Amino acid sequence: MSKNNFYAEPAVYHKPISEIDTDTINELYKLEEGWFVEFKSNLPEGAKIAKSISSFANAHGGIIIYGAIEDQKTRKLKELKGFDVDTAEENLIKIRQSVESHIMPCPYYQAEKIKTSEDKDEYIIWV
């Protein structure tokens, strides 16, 4: 048995953010909100951003997807309602400011805008 067939592909929330692209986005539909995954349709204000990030930092890590609507019955991703590029950039700044203002010491985290598909100019925020 080859090494490639023996080891399971890591879950999307274990992949480095640099490996996330529009093809990886489809993997989000397989996930359920829980210990490692949180879907948020919009970016909350101020300290609420930091609280979500702090929760994951104090546990075992995971991902927060802003611009994602959760199906309330299944807790799975229902649809992506991303942001335009300017709003996505503004949201990245708000995330950084919230973490720097409300969490000491500042945890290691990454936040990036990820294009939802090749044919749309729409971005989710992956933290």
Residue 1 confidence (pLDDT)? 43
Average pLDDT in the chain: 88
DSSP 15-81: S-GGG--HHHHGGGGG-BSSSSEEEESS---THHHHHHHHHHHTTT--EEEETEEEPTTT-BEEEE-
Burial (CB count <10 Å: 0-12, 13-18, 19+), residue 45: exposed
Least confident interval from 76-80, 90-94, 105-109: 105-109
Residue 5 confidence (pLDDT)? 52
Three-state SS for 127? Answer: coil
pLDDT at 102 over 60: yes
Residue 41 confidence (pLDDT)? 95
Residue 6 confidence (pLDDT)? 53
Residue 2 confidence (pLDDT)? 46
Question: For the segment 38-85, what is each residue's pLDDT rounded down to a tens digit?
Answer: 999 999 988 999 999 999 888 888 899 999 999 999 999 999 999 999
- Cis check for the bond before 105: say yes or no (omega within 30 of 0): yes
